[in-house]
Amino acid sequence: MRAGGWGDDYPWEANVVGFLVGAGVGYVLGAKAGRGRYEQIVRAYRRIADHPAVQGAAGIARAKLGGRP
């Protein structure tokens, strides 16, 4: 074990820093992709979510979970 090394006092520091770096990279890449790509992703999501097979599977899952929305 290193004496006085970074992260020795707070082992969660590395996880937090890793998360923040990942979030920052995701933000920058998302910003570069722009609004057009965002709209394309939203359209694809809605097309999939509105598909009858997906609606049926969601209904079955809701029934198994006790009717929660």
Q: In the predicted model, is pLDDT for residue 5 greater than 90?
A: no
Over range 23-48, report the average pLDDT. Answer: 86
- Whether the predicted model's global pTM rises above the 0.85 cut: no
Burial class (CB in 10 A: 0-12, 13-18, 19+), 44: exposed
pLDDT, position 48? 93
For the chain, give the mean pLDDT. Answer: 81
Instruction: Please state, in angstroms and rounded to a whole number, the distance separating the CA atoms of residues 28 and 14.
Output: 21
Measure CA of the first residue to CA of the last residue in the chain; give whole Å.
50
